Structure formats: structure tokens, C-alpha cells
């Protein structure tokens, strides 16, 4: 093939957000839109990460992925990449992508140095919905802010991109290697089945036998819903082929381009449900951390530390304190956990947004979290040979609250509001934040049954390892009794602005931990809504989603 240099002009707004660039499919379908971003990414990397390198390209299979994969294959060829690995049918879950970058070794000993991941994750998919692209680094984690900033700067000045136009489309539905010769030598595109890499990794972490025993118990019932995301194929390999679970316990395991209207296409998130019982993700992370050493072989020699994103509840903090573990609070988004993991400071981390994971890879991992819960259930029931009194998900959560106290928690999402109104709301909060006295006066005028605000700030994070500083990461109201209100703007929406409000209250007294969450949080919710004048700024009388 030959390399063509194509002239192009910049597009506005190609700034990667919390987790890559996410826009409507029609935006990505504009001529050169994807090309500009991909070239800007190549240009942001050091030359040895491009020339002669091995890159992975795949995604969650959402609409437009197949077109995007062919375009990137042709551009990588033209930019001097040596080898491309593509998951069968262009599918790789986010966690598997991270695992493949870190662990997979090609037939000739090659290792990947990075990956283009085609996903907008929890954003809806389909022709009228969202598409997304993000770049992950050699450590399997999302590009750090320094790289995303460089990519964005490049998109603003881009004048041309390189592409091997004559390269035929590669058949990504068949396993095998397609070989090409370009001006700089060989270029191979290998299509591979990724499930085996992922299953192998999970086997090295968990005690599969004990989970199998749990699933075989007649008293234990279980189902796994893949929500039509990319995770379906992995779920079958693990739950049916490894654990012998019935096919009927797996739901919606055939991936769809629009996820059947459901979401988190890329399989990095999880939701744990007991019998009519919901485990909040913040609690889930804390419970996994509290039980990991006993229940999960990978952690048997101890935890290096734990970390959570700022808006995530402080349930993990209490566990860290009680177990004397190193603890870190980082901004929202998985890219901030990477350096801590690489420095050997953090084993388990979590976010309130249904994302939990560990240093086995550098992304959150939905199946990992499910296996962690099954491991804890197996451990708690290990002496229960006749399964006469099953320890349930709900029992485990109640035991946890009894030991550590409970963090009542809710997140209110105001999606797709007018961007100017959202900005005004945030500046209003930054403004009132300067006078604690004023804040307390306003709050006491709203309700008398909440404690005093003792601190208000805009969260700012300094990375311990590389010293980089991330500012404006959300406004926090910290109350004397440990309650918190947090306001921040989402960095994953594709249109307008999304405001997230996080409400949290800590209760140590075990006679009060079973209260209804909405009821317990009602006073703080009222304070949050009135203090922020959110209705005035957004024109919305209620959030679109409460979790």
C-alpha cells in the first residue's frame, strides 16, 4: 500500500472528557472528523509508540464501530504502525482491552503499547445516539490528562492526516492474520478471540472452585444480565463454561449495536442486586475491600492501599481506617487511579457510578466485581455445608453496616441541561463558597435539622507520582457530622451539560442503619436543591435519574 497525505481543517470541541471523546454518531460521520482525532492522537504520542509499534483497536460494538475500525487500521498503516490486534468482530470489553495491552504476547513475542477503544460506554448507542473513542496507554490505563491535553491541542491546529487509502477492508469476523506490505515494510492485522485472555486472568485472581461450589448449591440462585453489551461473550465463557451455570441464568448476552436501549456497552461497570436488595456502588467497593484478603486469593498477602473518586461515599475511608490501609481520594474517572497502581500504592478502587476494580488491570471491571461478590458469598457460606442458612447479599451488607456504620447515599443527575445555565450554577456555588458564615445562614433558613457546614471547597488534586494538578473537580460542602453535598459537571455527555449532585450522610449508630435511604437523606436533599437554586438555573424541577 501507499501512504496518502490528506489535507484537513480542524473541528471545534474535540476535547477528550472524563473518558475519551464522546459525540453523536452524526458528528463522527462528518468527513475527516474521526480522522483528525486519530491523527492528533498519533501526533501526541512519542514516535516509538507509533513507528513499528503494536496497537489494539476494538470497542463495545456500538453503531459506527465497524466503519471506525477500518479507518483506524488504514491510518495506523500510514503512520508506520507495525501490527494491529483486533478482537473478533471488533469487540473487546474495556477490562479485556486493558488486560490484552498488559498481558497478551503475540506469536512473534510482540506486546502492545496502546489501544484505540471505540466506546462511549454508558452513553446510549445507535445511529441517533453516541459514539466515542479513547486512547489507552502501555500500562493498560486511560491516557493521562497531559496526553489528552496534547491530543486536544493537536486537533485545534491539524492540517493533514496520513492514510493508506488503497488498503482493502480487513475481514474482522474471522480469526487470523492479514499481511500487507507498505513503504516501511510489513503491516499485519491480527483478529483474535479475546475471551481466553480474560478468562485466564480471572482464573489467576479468584478461587474458581469455591465459586463453582456456591453456584451448584440448590439454595443459591443467581442471574447475570449483560444488558446487550459486549460482555455477553465473556459471561458465557465464565459462568456457563467454567462454572457450569445454566444458560438460562444469563440474560441479554447477545451484543447489539444499540444495546437494546440499555447501556454500559463496554462492560466495565456492575450493579449488584440481592433479593429485592440494592447494593450502592460505594458500599460495594467498601465491602469488597473489607473482605478481599480472606475471600480472594489475589489479595491474600494484603492490600497495598485503596482509593475512591471524590464524589464516592466515604464508606471505603472507614474500612481503610479500621484496617490501617493507605487511602487516596482522586477526581472522577479511572485515569487518576493508574499512577497510584503503578507506584504500588493501591490494590482496590471504586467510584459511586457503578465502577469498581483492582490493580489486576487499569480499568474498572464489571465481571471482576461480580466474581468478587461471588467469592465473598462463597467465603461467608464456606462452613454452611448443607446450605441450611444461606448468608445472602443483604446479610453481608447489614453485617458491614453493623461494623463500620452506614453511608446513606444518592446521586441526582440533571442531564442535557442548558450549558450556560449549568455554568452559572457552578459559578454561583463557587461564589457563595467564599463565606462559610453565609452558607450556614442560608442553610439554617432552609432546615434546622442538618448539622453545620464546616468547610466548602472546589476539589483539586495533585498526583502524588507525577505531580500534575487537576483543578475544578467539583464543589464540596462538608458538614460537621460527616455529611457531604457535592456538585460537579459531567465530563462524558455529548450535548449540553449534565449536572451531578451527590448527597451523603454517615450514621454510625447501628440501630439507625436500616432506615429508608430516601427518608434519611430528605433534609440534605432539600438543603442541596434550595441552596444551589438548581431549579432556577436549569429550569428543571427534578433530576432525570436518581441512583
Please state, in angstroms and rounded to a whole number, the distance separating the CA atoms of residues 172 and 152: 30
Exposed/middle/buried for residue 339 (C-beta within 10 Å: 0-12, 13-18, 19+): buried
Name which of residues 49 to 78 contact ligand VG1 (CB under 6 A).
none
Q: Which does 332 bind (CB under 5 to 8 A by kind): Co ion, ligand VG1, none?
A: ligand VG1
Closest to 429 in 3D by CA, of 286, 512, 533, 506: 533
Residue 542 DSSP SS3: coil
Q: Residue with the closest Cβ to ligand VG1?
A: 121
Name which of residues 121 to 160 contact Co ion (CB under 5 A).
121
Asked about 121 being catalytic, the answer comes back as yes
Least separation in angstroms between residue 263's CB and ligand VG1 is: 8
Instruction: Single out the residue of 130, 257, 351, 463 in contact with ligand VG1 (rule: CB under 6 A).
Output: 351
Instruction: Single out the residue of 491, 496, 510, 526 in contact with ligand VG1 (rule: CB under 6 A).
Output: 491
Residue 152 near residue 137, CB atoms below 8 Å: no
Nearer to ligand VG1, 201 or 263 (CB): 263
355 scored as a contact of ligand VG1 (CB under 6 A): yes
Q: Which does 333 bind (CB under 5 to 8 A by kind): ligand VG1, Co ion, none?
A: ligand VG1
Q: Which three cell numbers stand for residue 257?
A: 449495536
Q: Select the span of 167-175, 263-271, 295-303, 440-448 touching ligand VG1 (CB under 6 A).
A: 263-271
Q: Which does 141 bind (CB under 5 to 8 A by kind): Co ion, ligand VG1, none?
A: none
Instruction: Single out the residue of 207, 257, 266, 317 in contact with Co ion (rule: CB under 5 A).
Output: 266
Residue 408 near residue 504, CB atoms below 8 Å: yes
Least separation in angstroms between residue 381's CB and ligand VG1 is: 31
Least separation in angstroms between residue 498's CB and ligand VG1 is: 6
Q: Select the span of 69-77, 180-188, 264-272, 283-291 touching Co ion (CB under 5 A).
A: 264-272
Per-residue binding letters, 217-256, with ligand VG1 (x by CB under 6 A): ----------------------------------------
Name which of residues 299 to 338 contact ligand VG1 (CB under 6 A).
309, 332-334
Least separation in angstroms between residue 121's CB and Co ion is: 3
Instruction: Single out the residue of 19, 113, 178, 282 in contact with ligand VG1 (rule: CB under 6 A).
Output: 19
State the alpha helices, DSSP H only, in 13-64. 25-28, 33-44
Sequence-separated (6 or more) residues with CB below 8 Å from residue 184: 51, 52, 80
Closest to 180 in 3D by CA, of 3, 23, 32: 3
Please state, in angstroms and rounded to a whole number, the distance separating the CA atoms of residues 107 and 175: 14
Name which of residues 403 to 432 contact Co ion (CB under 5 A).
none
264 scored as a contact of Co ion (CB under 5 A): yes
Instruction: Single out the residue of 39, 58, 339, 353 in contact with ligand VG1 (rule: CB under 6 A).
Output: 353
Instruction: Single out the residue of 236, 269, 308, 380 in contact with ligand VG1 (rule: CB under 6 A).
Output: 269
93 scored as a contact of ligand VG1 (CB under 6 A): no
Q: DSSP 3-state helix, strand, coil percentages of the chain (rounded to 5)?
A: 35, 25, 40
Sequence-separated (6 or more) residues with CB below 8 Å from residue 241: none
Instruction: Single out the residue of 14, 16, 18, 486 in contact with ligand VG1 (rule: CB under 6 A).
Output: 18
Residue 462 near residue 444, CB atoms below 8 Å: no
496 scored as a contact of ligand VG1 (CB under 6 A): no
Q: Which three cell numbers stand for residue 195?
A: 475471551
Angle made by CA atoms 434, 439, 445, in degrees to the nearest 5: 160
Sequence-separated (6 or more) residues with CB below 8 Å from residue 545: 412, 413, 415
Residue 347 near residue 337, CB atoms below 8 Å: no
Q: Which does 145 bind (CB under 5 to 8 A by kind): ligand VG1, Co ion, none?
A: none
Residue 130 DSSP SS3: strand
CA-CA-CA-CA dihedral for 463, 467, 468, 471, to nearest 10: 60
Name which of residues 77 to 116 contact Co ion (CB under 5 A).
none
Exposed/middle/buried for residue 40 (C-beta within 10 Å: 0-12, 13-18, 19+): buried
Please state, in angstroms and rounded to a whole number, the distance separating the CA atoms of residues 385 and 112: 46
Sequence-separated (6 or more) residues with CB below 8 Å from residue 534: 414, 425, 499, 501, 528, 540
Name which of residues 121 to 140 contact ligand VG1 (CB under 6 A).
121-122
> In which residue are the cell numbers 484496617 written?
323
Kindly name the residue from 121, 295, 358, 470 that is annotated as catalytic.
121
Nearer to ligand VG1, 124 or 274 (CB): 124
Q: Which does 380 bind (CB under 5 to 8 A by kind): ligand VG1, Co ion, none?
A: none
Instruction: Single out the residue of 268, 359, 463, 504 in contact with Co ion (rule: CB under 5 A).
Output: 268
Closest to 256 in 3D by CA, of 132, 20, 89: 89
Catalytic amino acids?
121
The footprint of Co ion (CB under 5 A) covers 121, 264, 266, 268
Site residues (vs ligand VG1, CB under 6 A): 18-19, 121-122, 264, 268-269, 309, 332-334, 351, 353, 355, 490-492, 500
Amino acid at each position: 500500500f501507499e501512504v496518502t497525505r490528506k489535507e484537513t481543517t480542524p473541528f471545534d470541541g474535540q476535547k477528550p472528557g472524563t473518558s475519551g471523546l464522546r459525540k453523536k454518531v452524526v458528528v463522527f460521520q462528518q468527513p475527516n472528523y474521526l480522522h483528525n482525532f486519530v491523527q492528533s492522537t498519533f501526533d501526541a504520542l512519542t514516535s516509538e509508540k507509533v513507528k513499528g509499534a503494536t496497537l489494539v483497536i476494538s470497542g463495545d460494538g456500538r453503531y459506527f464501530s465497524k466503519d471506525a475500525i477500518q479507518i483506524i487500521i488504514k491510518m495506523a498503516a500510514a503512520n508506520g504502525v507495525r501490527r494491529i490486534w483486533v478482537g473478533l468482530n471488533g469487540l473487546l470489553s474495556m477490562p479485556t482491552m486493558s488486560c490484552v495491552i498488559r498481558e497478551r504476547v503475540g506469536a512473534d513475542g510482540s506486546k502492545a503499547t496502546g489501544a484505540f477503544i471505540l466506546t462511549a460506554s454508558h452513553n446510549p448507542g445507535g445511529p441517533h445516539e453516541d459514539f466515542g473513542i479513547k486512547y489507552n496507554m502501555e500500562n493498560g490505563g486511560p491516557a493521562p490528562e497531559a496526553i489528552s491535553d496534547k491530543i486536544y491541542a493537536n486537533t485545534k491546529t491539524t492540517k493533514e492526516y496520513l492514510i493508506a487509502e488503497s488498503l482493502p477492508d480487513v475481514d474482522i469476523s474471522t480469526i487470523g492474520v492479514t499481511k500487507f506490505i507498505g513503504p516501511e515494510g510489513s503491516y499485519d492485522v491480527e483478529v483474535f478471540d479475546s475471551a481466553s485472555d480474560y478468562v485466564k486472568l480471572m482464573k489467576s485472581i479468584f478461587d474458581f472452585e469455591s465459586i463453582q461450589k456456591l453456584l451448584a448449591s440448590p439454595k443459591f440462585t443467581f442471574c447475570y444480565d449483560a444488558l446487550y453489551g459486549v460482555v455477553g461473550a465473556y459471561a458465557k465463557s465464565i459462568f456457563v463454561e467454567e462454572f457450569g451455570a445454566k444458560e438460562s441464568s444469563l440474560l441479554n448476552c447477545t451484543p447489539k449495536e444499540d444495546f437494546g436501549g440499555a447501556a454500559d456497552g463496554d462492560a466495565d461497570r456492575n450493579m449488584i442486586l440481592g433479593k429485592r436488595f440494592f447494593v450502592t456502588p460505594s458500599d460495594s467497593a467498601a465491602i469488597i475491600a473489607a473482605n478481599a484478603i480472606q475471600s480472594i486469593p489475589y489479595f491474600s498477602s494484603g492490600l497495598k492501599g485503596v482509593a475512591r473518586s471524590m464524589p464516592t461515599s466515604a464508606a471505603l475511608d472507614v474500612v481503610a481506617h479500621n484496617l490501617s490501609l493507605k487511602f487516596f481520594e482522586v477526581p472522577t474517572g479511572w485515569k487518576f487511579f493508574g499512577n497510584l497502581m503503578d507506584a504500588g500504592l493501591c490494590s482496590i478502587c471504586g467510584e459511586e457510578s457503578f465502577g469498581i476494580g483492582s490493580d489486576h488491570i487499569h480499568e474498572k471491571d464489571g465481571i471482576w466485581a461480580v466474581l468478587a461478590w461471588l467469592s465473598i458469598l462463597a467465603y461467608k457460606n464456606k462452613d454452611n455445608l448443607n446450605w441450611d442458612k444461606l448468608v445472602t447479599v443483604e446479610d453481608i451488607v447489614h453485617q458491614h453496616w453493623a461494623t463500620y456504620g452506614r453511608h446513606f447515599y444518592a446521586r441526582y443527575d440533571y442531564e442535557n441541561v442548558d450549558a450556560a445555565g449549568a455554568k452559572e450554577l457552578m459559578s454561583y456555588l463557587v461564589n457563595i463558597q467564599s463565606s462559610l458564615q453565609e452558607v450556614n445562614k442560608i442553610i439554617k433558613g432552609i432546615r434546622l435539622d442538618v448539622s453545620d457546614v464546616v468547610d466548602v471547597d472546589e476539589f483539586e488534586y495533585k498526583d502524588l507520582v507525577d505531580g500534575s494538578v487537576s483543578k475544578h473537580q467539583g464543589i464540596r460542602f462538608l458538614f460537621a457530622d460527616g455529611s457531604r453535598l457535592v456538585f460537579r459537571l459531567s465530563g462524558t455527555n455529548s450535548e449540553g451539560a449534565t449536572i451531578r449532585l451527590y448527597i451523603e450522610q454517615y450514621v454510625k449508630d447501628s440501630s439507625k442503619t436500616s432506615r429508608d435511604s430516601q427518608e434519611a437523606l430528605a433534609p440534605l436533599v432539600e438543603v442541596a436543591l434550595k441552596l444551589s437554586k438548581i431549579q432556577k438555573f436549569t429550569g428543571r424541577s427534578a433530576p432525570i435519574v436518581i441512583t
